[in-house]
């Protein structure tokens, strides 16, 4: 057992046989992590899972070429072998299995994944747990689209009805295999699991157990134990992979004093060793005094401007109860320092960004290209995903997806321009804040400030 990957499977509290299988081993420069679940209720699920496991290991033992293509081909080969076994043994005609596979290149700080069915892949980063794969089922679609909550999905009577699996069809359609890749940074942790875990433990419960200062073996055992305590209604399988490398931290070094510095700090002495008399102060020239006054005036002006900047936006934005993650802080800093255009880098776009606090835009004018970035609301956050400050005069947001927020964007009227922005399960996609003078009678009416450029159907 290595110290940066570990796998564990358990029969659970109800079933008498284990239809799950897993892979947790080194294959060339990659760590291969895979969870395979024989489809429950069909005879031969255990056989299908075993066939798929062996086929995947054999095909990926000598990785060459594009790793994502090879993972997809490994699933196709596994499907063919399951179908061949069905032909040899008609008694197993209904066997099938679902699988989630990750190939992790720790040295390159990257992982690749392939997925079919309802086993799952999660990524833990900065004390947040994000589900990477999508359950290929009707209930999974309802949950991922925000139509039902995670708790409702876990309790749904049709949660185990799947749309795709290895062994469902003689020829596997490549479109049925979900694939992708993502950065795998120092400190990141991958969790692959069967539905025997995800049907009984919420993502919050999983995160609490994964955050414990324990070995991977202890974390895996804790997850399995908690699922069994919740009833253990199915086989439970867990595979963990950790990027054990530490971030490179540059040490600050003390500057070496130059000869001129040493002389400056030395105490002057006379030839007899006695301290030399202190030098007489020079008279300050009138021009220097005027320059000093000018500097003080300039400093006061700068301080005033900084105070005005710090006061925007003047409205209160509801904040989450959890501190911002490193990725959130990096995004906020990038927006604050952007000139007129900001484009989300690939390292951010690869995964959904779970927000614990509002992203503030405080620029006079700014164009933000999300490049398909998906923003999700953390369970403890109730504020808007984006808020535009009073200083904003024109902001273009494009190619973004905002999901599950109470308010998607908080803006002032006639400031915001949207282009290819999707709102999923947002109670109020865009809220307009109008500033009116206090203690002054006001007459007027509000009108719809949003005029669509085009509507995509």
pLDDT digits 0-9 by tens, 129-166:
999 999 999 998 888 878 889 999 999 999 888 999 99
**What is the arithmetic mean of pLDDT over 123-131?**
93
- Which pLDDT score, from 0 to 100, does residue 258 have? 41
CB 42 within 8 A of CB 216: no
Does residue 453 have a pLDDT over 80?
Answer: no
Fill in the DSSP letter of residue 280: P
- Which pLDDT score, from 0 to 100, does residue 181 have? 92
Instruction: Report how far residue 439's alpha carbon sits from residue 347's, in angstroms, rounded to the nearest whole number.
Output: 49
**What is the arithmetic mean of pLDDT over 86-93?**
91
Least confident of 188-197, 219-228, 348-357: 348-357
Q: Which two tokens stand for residue 33?
A: 């992590």
Does residue 1 have a pLDDT over 60?
Answer: no
Where do the structural domains in the chain lie, given as residue ranges? Answer: 5-242, 326-433
What is the pairing mode between strands 178-183 and 394-403? unpaired
Q: What is the pLDDT of residues 250-289, one digit of tens each?
A: 454 444 444 444 444 444 445 455 555 554 444 445 565 6
Does residue 447 have a pLDDT over 50?
Answer: yes
- Which pLDDT score, from 0 to 100, does residue 25 have? 97
- Which pLDDT score, from 0 to 100, does residue 415 have? 82
pLDDT band at 349 (very low <50, low <70, confident <90, very high): confident
For 73, residues 6+ apart whose C-beta sits below 8 A from its C-beta are: 59
Q: Which two tokens stand for residue 136?
A: 């290929």
Does residue 336 have a pLDDT over 80?
Answer: yes
Q: Which CATH architecture group holds 5-242?
A: 4-Layer Sandwich (3.60)
Q: What is the pLDDT of residues 6-51, one digit of tens each?
A: 999 999 999 999 999 999 999 999 999 999 999 866 678 999 999 9
The secondary structure of 109-164 as a DSSP string is TEEEEEEESS-EEEEEETTEEEE-S---BHHHHHHHTTSS-HHHHHH-TTTT-BS-
**What is the arithmetic mean of pLDDT over 295-306?**
60
- Which pLDDT score, from 0 to 100, does residue 348 have? 74
Whole-model pTM?
A: 0.59
- Which pLDDT score, from 0 to 100, does residue 223 have? 98
Say how many residues make up the chain.
Answer: 457
CB 449 within 8 A of CB 432: yes
- Which pLDDT score, from 0 to 100, does residue 390 have? 81
Distance, C-alpha 401 to centroid of its chain: 14
């Amino acid at each position: 057992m290595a110290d940066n990957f570990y796998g564990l499977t358990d029969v659970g509290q109800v079933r008498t046989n284990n239809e799950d299988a897993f892979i947790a081993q080194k294959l060339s420069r990659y760590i291969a992590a895979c969870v395979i679940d024989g489809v429950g209720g069909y005879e031969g699920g255990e056989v299908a899972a075993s066939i798929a496991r062996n086929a995947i290991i054999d095909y990926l033992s000598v990785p060459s070429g594009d790793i994502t293509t090879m993972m997809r081909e490994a699933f196709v080969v596994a499907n063919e072998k399951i179908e061949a076994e069905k032909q040899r043994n008609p008694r197993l005609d209904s066997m099938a299995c679902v699988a989630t596979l990750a190939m992790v290149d720790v040295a390159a700080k990257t992982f690749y994944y392939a997925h079919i069915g309802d086993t799952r892949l999660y990524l833990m980063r900065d004390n947040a747990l994000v589900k990477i794969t999508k359950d290929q089922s009707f209930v999974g679609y309802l949950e991922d689209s925000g139509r039902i909550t995670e708790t409702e999905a876990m309790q749904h009577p049709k949660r185990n009805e799947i749309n795709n699996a290895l062994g469902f069809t003689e020829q596997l359609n490549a479109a049925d295999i979900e694939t992708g890749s993502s950065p795998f940074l120092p400190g990141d942790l991958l969790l692959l699991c069967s539905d025997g875990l995800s049907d009984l433990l919420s993502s919050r419960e999983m995160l609490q157990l994964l955050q414990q200062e324990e070995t991977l073996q202890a974390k895996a055992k804790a997850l399995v134990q908690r699922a069994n305590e919740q009833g253990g209604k199915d086989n439970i399988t867990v595979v963990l992979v950790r990027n054990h490398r530490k971030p490179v931290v540059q040490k600050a070094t003390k500057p070496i004093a130059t000869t001129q510095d040493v002389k400056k700090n030395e105490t002057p002495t006379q030839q007899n060793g006695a301290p030399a008399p202190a030098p007489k102060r020079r008279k300050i020239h009138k021009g220097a005094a005027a320059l000093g006054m000018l500097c003080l005036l300039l400093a006061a002006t700068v301080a005033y401007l900084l105070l005005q900047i710090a006061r925007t936006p003047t409205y209160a934005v509801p904040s989450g109860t959890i501190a911002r993650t490193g990725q959130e802080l990096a995004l906020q800093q990038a927006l604050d320092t952007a000139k007129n255009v900001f484009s989300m880098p690939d390292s951010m776009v690869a995964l959904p960004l779970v927000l614990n606090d509002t992203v503030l835009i405080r620029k006079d004018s700014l164009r933000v290209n999300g490049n398909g970035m998906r923003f999700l609301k953390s369970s403890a956050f109730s504020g808007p995903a984006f808020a535009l400050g009073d200083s904003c005069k024109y902001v273009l947001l494009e190619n973004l997806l905002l999901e599950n927020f109470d308010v998607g964007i908080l803006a002032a009227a006639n400031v915001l321009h949207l282009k290819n922005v999707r709102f999923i399960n947002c109670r109020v996609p865009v809220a307009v804040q109008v500033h009116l003078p206090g203690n002054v009678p006001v007459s007027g009416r509000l009108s719809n400030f949003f005029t669509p450029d085009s509507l995509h159907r």
